[in-house]
C-alpha cells in the first residue's frame, strides 16, 4: 500500500491546486478523481462556458449590431456546433495543462472512485473495477457539488437539462426555459440569446440575480429585456411535462397559473455538495444540515487528518474560492504560515451580458448591519473606453463605512467588469479607503477609470460627471 | 524679555505629562524656582519650578490636559509684554529656536511609523478617533500588520486571545476572573438627583487603564500558601534598635522583599517579562513595593537592584521611597523598571487577595494581614511517638499571582515555597 502525506479526493480547481501546493511544500501527494482532471470548472463549467460566451458575443454583434457599427452580412451563418467544438478544444487544452502540472510536481494521479476506509486509508476503484488501496496521513475531501434538481423532475438530458448537458450539446434549441437566475442561468441565457434562441427565465425570488445588490438586479433585468430575454420573477415552477419535441411547464406567479412551452428546459437552481458515497459518515465526519462538510478556518473537519475544501463545504461555490481554500488547506497540513480566508470579501463574477461582478456587502446588507454608509457611483455611459467599445450599459457602485472609510462592498455591472475587482478586493484586504483608490492614477482611457471616478464620487465629487 | 516655560522631560522614557494644577495664574508674580505648576506623569506628581522671576503672562495648557515634553506651558515676563495667542509649534526640549511649523495633524497618526510596519488608513482613522497608541496593539495580519480587527479588539478591551490551558490540579488554578466574575456591566448614567459623578483624575484614569490592560494581557493565576512569621518577628525585635541607629526603620516589608529576592535568585524565570520575541529574563531584581496614597490612589516605587542589597539597605530604601511617595517627591524613574512587585495588602486588614500583575512583569506577591492563629504543630513525644500539639503562631497568608503564559503552576508553587521557607527559617 503506497503511503502519502496527502491524498486529495477530487481534481477540480480546489483539489488540484491543493495538491500542487502540498507537493511544493515537500509533502508526498496523490490525487484521485473518478472522472477527470480539472473538475466541472475546466471540463463542463467556467472554462468552456467562457468560450461559448465569446462566440455568443460575436454572434450578437453580427446579428444585431451591423447597423450601429456599419456592416451588413448577407447570408450570415452561425455554426453553433463549431462554437461548442471550440469550447471543447479550450477545455481539453487546459485539462492537459493540469495533467502536466501533476507530473511536474510529482503528484500521483489515480483515476477512479474513492472510498475512505479509515482516516488513513482510501480505496480507489477504477472504471475496469480494479482496486488500489492508498495510505494517507491526511485526506483532503474536494469532491465538489452537483446540480440540484426540482423534486419530481427527471433530468433526461434531451428535453430537461442541467448545465452539464447544456454545455455539451452541439445544437442550440430554438426556445428554452431557464429555471433559476444565478450565474449558471444568466450565462446560458446570454449564450443562447446571442444565437437568437427564444429565452425565458423563471425565477422564484422577486428579482433575477437574487444574491446581488438590488440595483444590479434591476439594471440586468432592464438589459436582458432590451435584448429580448423574457423574465418572470416571483414565479415558481409547479411542474414540467416532457413531450416528444418540447417541454410544457406549469408556472405559478403573482398573476396566477401559466403554461409555458419551449424546446428545452435548463434547471439552474443551485448545487448540492457531493458528500454521499465516500464513506464520510462512517468515519464520523460532521455534516451540516444542508449536507455540507463542516470545516474550521484551517479547512479541518472534526476528524483529525480529514480536511475539506471547495464546493463540498458550501462556503462559496466558486472555483477561485476553492483554489484559495486548497492553498490554505495544504499550508495548514504542512504547518507553514498561512492565512485565514474572509469569505464575505471573496470576489463573485457572472459572465452575462452585461457582466456582473461584486464582493462584500450589498447596500441593503450594509444598512442592515447598522453601518452608516457612503456610496460612490459612476455610469459607463460617461466612460470614454466604454463609449468607444459601444458598450455603455451598466455602472459601478462602491460602498464604504462613513465613519472609518472601510470598504464594505462593490457592485459592478457593465462591460468586462469581472476584470475590475482585484484592485478593490486588494484595497479592502489592506484596509485602504476610497481616498487611496481615487488618488491612484488609472490609465486613460480604460474601463478601470470608472472605479477611480466612483471612488471620487464616494469621497465627494467625481470629475467626469 | 519674556521667558517661556516648557514641559520638561521628567524621566528617561517619559515623553508626556498631565498638567494637574496651576499654582500661579496670569498676572501673578513669581520668583525664580518657585513652584509654578503640578505635573502628573505615570502616577508621579511633581512640581515644575518657574525658570525666571516675573509676572505670569499667559498659561497655554489647561488643567487636566496631557501634553508632550517640549510643549509650551506658560510665558513669564514683564507686565504688559506681548505674548503670542496660540502656542507656537512643539519644540524639542532645550531647543532655542522655534521648530519649523508643522501642519496641524495631531489627530491622524502617520502610517508606517517606526516599528509598527504598514498602518492602513482604516486602522489609522480608528486609532485617531479612539486615541489608541498603536504600539500597544499587537497585529495579527500578515507580517504582523495591525488590522482593523486588532485595533477594535484592543479598544473593546476584549480578553487576551491566549487560550486558558488546563493545568489540571485544583481550584487554585482557576483564572482569577472566575473567582471574581466577569467585568461588571456598564454603569448606568446617573439619573437620580442624589447621584454624583466623580471626575476621573489622571491617577485614576491611569490606574484604570493599567489594571484593565494587565487583565487583558496576562493569564492571571493565583497560588496561596501561609507562613509562620515567628522567627522573622523575633529577628526584627532583636535588630530593630540597632537598625534604627543606622537610620533604618525595620519594617516587615523589608523581610518580604529580602525573601522574595532570594526566591527570584533561585527561580529566575519569575523575574521576567513576556515579549513576542520570547521571555525576557531580567538580570536585576528590581522589586516594586506598592504604597497606598489613600484617596489619591496607589504608587509602586521600585527598589532597584535589590539582589545586591542587605536587609538593612532594603529597609532603608523602602523607608526612603515610601516617605517620598507620600509627599509626592518621587522622580518618575523611581517608579519604573520594576521586574517584580510586592503588595502588602494586609496592612488594611485583608487576609488574602489576588492582586493584578504590574505589566510587563511576570508575577506579584501579595502579603495578607499578620494574624495570630491556632496551628497544629506536628511533633514527637519524649518516647518518640508522633504527638501533635496546638500552638498560637503569628501567621500570614502569601499569594503569588503569576502570568501563566510564562510559568506553570508548579514553578509558581516552587517560588512561593522558597519565600515561605526563607521567612520561616529566618535567622
Counting the structural domains of chain B, the total is: 2
pLDDT for B262-285, tens place per residue?
A: 999 999 999 999 888 888 899 899
Check residue A101 and give its pLDDT.
97
Count the Cβ atoms, other than its own, within 10 Å of residue A258: 14
CATH (domain of B64): 2.40.50.100
Picking from B64-78, B104-118, B322-336, which range would have the lowest pLDDT averaged per residue?
A: B104-118
Tell me which chain A residue has its CA closest to the CA of residue B145.
A430
- Contact partners, residue A54, CB within 8 Å, separation at least 6: none
Q: Of A232, A229, A227, A233, give the one whose Cα is nearest residue A393.
A: A227
Residue B88 lies in a domain: no
> Could you tell me the three cell numbers for A239?
411542474
Check residue B192 and give its pLDDT.
59
The complex's ipTM works out to: 0.73
Alpha carbons B87 and A273: distance in angstroms, whole number: 68
Count the Cβ atoms, other than its own, within 10 Å of residue B192: 5
Whether A404 and B142 lie within 8 Å, measured CB to CB = no
pLDDT for A209-249, tens place per residue?
A: 999 999 999 999 999 999 999 999 999 999 999 999 999 99
Domain made up of A354-459: CATH architecture: 2-Layer Sandwich (3.30)
Three-class DSSP category at A173? coil
Q: Which residue is associated with the grid cell 505674548?
A: B83
Packed helices B252-266 and B409-424: angle between N→C axes, nearest 10 degrees: 130
pLDDT for B397-425, tens place per residue?
A: 999 999 999 999 999 999 999 999 999 99
Alpha carbons B386 and A55: distance in angstroms, whole number: 102
Q: B27 in the Ramachandran plot: left (φ > 0), alpha (ψ -120 to 50) or beta?
A: left
- Contact partners, residue A97, CB within 8 Å, separation at least 6: none
Alpha carbons B75 and B5: distance in angstroms, whole number: 6
Q: How high is the mean pLDDT of chain B?
A: 80
Tell me which chain B residue has its CA closest to the CA of residue A401.
B122
Query: Mean pLDDT across the stretch B35-62?
Result: 82
Residue B209 lies in a domain: no
Q: Provide the residue range defining the domain that includes B327.
A: 219-424
Q: Of B329, B360, B341, give the one whose Cα is nearest residue B286.
A: B341
Alpha carbons B194 and B211: distance in angstroms, whole number: 29
pLDDT for A115-173, tens place per residue?
A: 999 999 999 999 888 999 999 999 999 999 999 988 888 899 999 999 999 999 999 99
| H/E run at residue A320 | helix A319-334
Check residue A180 and give its pLDDT.
96
Cα A76 versus chain centre, distance:
32
Using CB atoms, which residue from B129, B142, B147 is nearest to A431?
Answer: B147
Under the banding of pLDDT at 50, 70 and 90, the label for residue B135 is confident
Query: Mean pLDDT across the stretch B321-327?
Result: 84
Alpha carbons A20 and A23: distance in angstroms, whole number: 5
Check residue B94 and give its pLDDT.
38
Check residue A1 and give its pLDDT.
67
Check residue A290 and give its pLDDT.
82
Picking from A142-151, A416-425, B101-110, B133-142, which range would have the lowest pLDDT averaged per residue?
A: B101-110
Query: Mean pLDDT across the stretch B310-332?
Result: 86
A69 CB within 8 Å of a chain B CB: no
Check residue B107 and give its pLDDT.
41
Three-class DSSP category at B363? strand
Residues 337-396 (A) with a CB less than 8 A from some CB of B: 339
Q: Of A252, A306, A287, A300, give the one whose Cα is nearest residue A119.
A: A306
Alpha carbons A29 and A142: distance in angstroms, whole number: 14
Could you tell me which residue, B99 or B353, shows the higher pLDDT? B353
Alpha carbons A436 and A453: distance in angstroms, whole number: 12
CATH (domain of B379): 3.30.559.10
Count the Cβ atoms, other than its own, within 10 Å of residue A24: 14
Residue of A404, A429, A430, A440 to mutate for B, most B C-beta atoms under 10 A: A404
Cα A346 versus chain centre, distance:
12
What one-character DSSP code corresponds to residue A293? B
> Could you tell me the three cell numbers for A348?
463573485
> Could you tell me the three cell numbers for B324?
517620598
Whether A436 and B142 lie within 8 Å, measured CB to CB = no
Q: Number of C-alpha atoms within 13 angstroms, CB side, residue A98?
A: 25
- A18 in Cβ contact with A327 (< 8 Å): yes
- A182 in Cβ contact with A268 (< 8 Å): yes
Could you tell me which residue, A393 or B251, shows the higher pLDDT? A393
Using CB atoms, which residue from A339, A403, A431 is nearest to B121?
Answer: A431
Domain extents in chain A: 3-147+272-343, 160-269, 354-459
Alpha carbons B83 and B60: distance in angstroms, whole number: 11
Q: Of A244, A334, A304, A279, give the one whose Cα is nearest residue A143.
A: A279
Three-class DSSP category at A21? helix
Is pLDDT at B246 greater than 90 in this prediction? no
CATH topology of domain A3-147+272-343: FAD/NAD(P)-binding domain (3.50.50)
Alpha carbons B3 and A72: distance in angstroms, whole number: 90
Picking from A191-195, A234-238, B191-195, B246-250, which range would have the lowest pLDDT averaged per residue?
A: B191-195
Under the banding of pLDDT at 50, 70 and 90, the label for residue B95 is very low
- A66 in Cβ contact with A41 (< 8 Å): no
Q: B414 in the Ramachandran plot: left (φ > 0), alpha (ψ -120 to 50) or beta?
A: alpha
Residue of B116, B120, B137, B149 to mutate for A, most A C-beta atoms under 10 A: B120
- Whether the link from the prior residue into A445 is cis, omega within 30° of 0, is yes
Residue B357 lies in a domain: yes
Whether A406 and B123 lie within 8 Å, measured CB to CB = no
Sign of CA dihedral B115, B124, A375, A211: positive
Alpha carbons A10 and A15: distance in angstroms, whole number: 5
Query: Mean pLDDT across the stretch A9-17?
Result: 97
Count the Cβ atoms, other than its own, within 10 Å of residue B205: 14
Cα B381 versus chain centre, distance:
51
- B404 among known catalytic residues: yes
CB-count burial class (<10 Å; 0-12, 13-18, 19+) for B197: exposed
- B408 among known catalytic residues: yes
Whether A432 and B123 lie within 8 Å, measured CB to CB = no
Tell me whether strands A264-267 and A175-179 are parallel, antiparallel or unpaired: parallel
Residue B318 lies in a domain: yes
Tell me whether strands A306-308 and A131-141 are parallel, antiparallel or unpaired: parallel
Same CATH topology for A160-269 and A354-459? Answer: no
Under the banding of pLDDT at 50, 70 and 90, the label for residue B207 is confident
Q: How high is the mean pLDDT of chain A?
A: 95
Check residue B91 and give its pLDDT.
43
The CATH number that domain A160-269 falls under is: 3.50.50.60
Enter the pTM of the model: 0.60
- B264 in Cβ contact with B361 (< 8 Å): no
Picking from A229-243, A301-315, B160-174, B236-250, which range would have the lowest pLDDT averaged per residue?
A: B160-174
A436 CB within 8 Å of a chain B CB: yes
CB-count burial class (<10 Å; 0-12, 13-18, 19+) for B347: middle
Alpha carbons A407 and A397: distance in angstroms, whole number: 12
Chain A CB contacts of B155 below 8 Å: none
Amino acid at each position: 500500500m503506497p503511503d502519502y502525506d496527502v491524498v486529495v479526493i477530487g481534481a477540480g480547481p480546489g483539489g488540484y491546486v491543493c495538491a500542487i501546493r502540498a507537493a511544493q511544500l515537500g509533502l508526498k501527494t496523490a490525487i484521485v478523481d473518478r472522472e477527470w482532471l480539472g473538475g466541472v470548472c475546466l471540463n463542463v463549467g467556467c472554462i468552456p462556458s467562457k468560450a461559448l460566451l465569446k462566440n455568443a458575443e460575436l454572434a450578437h454583434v453580427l446579428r444585431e449590431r451591423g447597423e450601429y457599427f456599419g456592416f451588413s452580412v448577407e447570408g450570415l451563418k452561425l455554426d453553433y456546433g463549431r462554437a461548442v467544438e471550440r469550447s471543447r478544444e479550450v477545455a481539453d487544452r487546459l485539462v492537459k495543462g493540469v495533467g502536466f502540472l501533476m507530473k511536474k510536481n510529482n503528484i500521483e494521479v489515480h483515476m477512479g472512485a474513492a472510498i475512505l476506509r479509515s482516516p488513513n486509508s482510501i480505496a480507489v476503484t477504477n472504471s475496469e473495477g480494479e482496486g488500489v488501496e492508498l495510505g494517507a496521513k491526511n485526506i483532503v475531501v474536494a469532491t465538489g457539488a452537483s446540480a440540484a434538481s426540482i423534486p419530481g423532475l427527471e433530468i433526461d438530458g434531451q428535453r430537461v437539462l442541467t448545465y452539464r448537458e447544456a454545455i455539451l450539446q452541439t445544437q442550440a434549441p430554438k426556445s428554452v426555459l431557464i429555471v433559476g437566475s444565478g450565474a449558471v442561468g444568466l450565462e446560458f441565457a446570454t449564450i443562447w440569446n446571442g444565437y437568437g434562441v427564444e429565452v425565458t427565465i423563471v425565477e422564484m425570488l422577486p428579482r433575477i440575480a437574487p444574491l446581488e445588490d438590488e440595483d444590479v438586479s434591476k439594471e440586468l433585468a432592464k438589459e436582458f429585456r432590451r435584448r429580448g430575454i423574457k423574465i418572470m420573477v416571483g414565479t415558481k415552477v409547479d411542474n414540467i411535462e416532457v413531450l416528444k419535441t418540447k417541454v410544457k411547464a406549469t408556472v405559478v406567479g403573482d398573476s396566477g397559473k401559466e403554461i409555458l412551452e419551449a424546446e428545452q428546459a435548463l434547471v439552474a437552481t443551485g448545487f448540492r455538495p457531493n458528500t454521499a458515497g465516500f464513506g464520510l459518515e462512517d468515519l464520523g465526519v460532521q455534516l451540516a444540515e444542508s449536507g455540507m462538510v463542516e470545516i474550521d478556518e484551517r479547512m479541518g473537519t472534526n476528524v483529525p487528518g480529514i480536511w475539506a475544501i471547495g464546493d463540498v463545504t458550501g462556503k462559496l461555490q466558486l472555483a477561485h474560492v476553492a483554489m484559495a481554500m486548497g492553498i490554505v488547506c495544504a499550508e495548514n497540513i504542512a504547518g507553514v504560515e498561512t492565512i485565514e480566508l474572509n469569505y464575505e470579501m471573496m470576489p463573485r463574477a457572472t459572465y452575462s451580458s452585461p457582466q456582473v461582478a461584486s464582493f462584500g456587502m450589498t447596500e441593503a446588507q450594509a444598512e442592515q448591519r447598522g453601518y452608516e454608509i457612503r456610496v460612490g457611483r459612476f455610469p459607463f455611459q460617461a466612460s470614454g473606453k466604454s463609449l468607444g467599445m459601444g458598450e455603455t450599459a451598466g455602472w459601478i457602485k462602491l460602498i464604504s463605512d462613513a465613519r472609518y472609510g472601510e470598504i464594505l462592498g462593490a457592485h459592478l455591472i457593465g462591460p468586462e467588469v469581472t476584470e475590475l475587482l482585484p484592485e478593490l478586493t486588494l484595497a479592502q484586504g489592506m484596509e485602504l479607503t476610497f481616498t487611496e483608490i481615487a488618488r491612484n492614477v488609472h490609465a486613460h482611457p480604460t474601463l478601470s477609470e470608472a472605479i477611480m471616478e466612483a471612488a471620487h464620487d464616494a469621497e465627494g465629487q467625481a470629475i467626469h460627471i | 524679555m519674556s521667558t517661556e516655560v516648557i514641559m520638561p522631560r521628567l524621566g528617561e522614557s517619559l515623553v508626556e505629562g498631565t498638567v494637574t494644577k496651576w499654582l500661579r495664574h496670569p498676572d501673578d508674580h513669581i520668583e525664580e524656582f518657585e513652584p509654578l505648576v503640578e505635573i502628573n506623569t505615570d502616577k508621579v506628581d511633581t512640581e515644575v519650578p518657574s525658570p525666571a522671576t516675573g509676572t505670569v503672562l499667559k498659561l497655554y495648557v489647561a488643567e487636566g490636559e496631557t501634553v508632550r515634553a517640549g510643549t509650551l506651558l506658560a510665558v513669564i515676563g514683564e507686565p504688559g509684554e506681548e505674548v503670542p495667542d496660540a502656542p507656537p509649534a512643539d519644540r524639542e526640549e532645550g531647543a532655542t529656536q522655534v521648530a519649523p511649523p508643522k501642519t496641524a495633524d495631531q489627530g491622524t497618526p502617520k502610517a508606517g511609523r517606526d516599528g509598527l510596519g504598514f498602518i492602513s488608513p482604516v486602522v489609522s482613522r480608528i486609532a485617531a478617533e479612539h486615541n489608541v497608541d498603536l504600539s500597544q496593539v499587537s497585529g495579527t495580519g500578515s507580517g504582523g500588520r495591525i488590522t482593523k480587527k486588532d485595533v477594535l479588539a484592543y479598544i473593546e478591551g476584549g480578553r487576551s486571545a491566549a487560550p486558558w490551558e488546563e493545568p489540571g490540579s485544583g481550584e487554585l488554578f482557576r483564572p482569577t476572573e472566575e473567582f471574581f466574575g466577569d467585568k461588571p456591566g456598564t454603569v448606568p448614567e446617573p439619573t437620580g438627583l442624589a447621584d454624583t459623578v466623580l471626575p476621573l483624575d489622571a491617577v485614576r484614569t491611569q490606574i484604570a487603564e493599567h489594571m484593565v490592560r494587565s487583565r487583558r494581557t496576562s493569564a492571571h493565576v493565583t497560588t496561596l500558601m501561609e507562613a509562620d512569621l515567628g522567627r522573622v518577628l523575633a529577628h526584627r525585635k532583636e535588630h530593630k534598635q540597632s537598625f534604627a541607629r543606622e537610620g533604618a526603620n525595620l519594617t516587615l516589608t523589608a523581610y518580604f522583599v529580602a525573601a522574595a529576592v532570594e526566591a527570584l535568585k533561585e527561580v529566575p524565570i519569575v523575574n521576567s517579562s513576556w515579549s513576542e520575541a520570547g521571555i525576557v529574563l531580567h538580570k536585576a531584581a528590581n522589586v516594586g513595593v506598592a504604597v497606598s496614597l489613600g484617596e489619591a490612589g496607589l504608587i509602586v516605587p521600585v527598589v532597584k537592584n535589590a539582589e545586591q542589597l542587605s536587609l538593612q539597605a532594603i529597609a532603608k530604601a523602602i523607608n526612603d521611597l515610601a516617605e517620598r511617595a507620600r509627599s509626592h517627591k518621587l522622580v518618575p524613574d523611581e517608579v519604573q523598571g520594576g521586574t517584580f512587585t510586592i503588595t502588602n495588602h494586609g496592612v488594611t486588614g485583608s487576609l488574602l487577595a489576588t492582586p493584578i500583575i504590574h505589566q510587563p512583569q511576570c508575577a506579584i506577591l501579595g502579603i495578607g494581614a499578620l494574624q495570630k492563629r491556632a496551628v497544629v504543630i506536628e511533633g514527637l513525644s519524649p518516647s518518640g511517638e508522633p504527638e501533635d500539639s496546638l500552638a498560637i503562631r503569628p501567621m500570614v497568608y502569601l499569594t503569588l499571582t503569576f502570568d501563566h503564559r510564562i510559568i506553570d503552576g508548579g514553578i509558581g508553587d516552587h517560588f512561593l515555597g522558597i519565600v515561605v521557607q526563607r521567612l520561616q527559617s529566618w535567622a
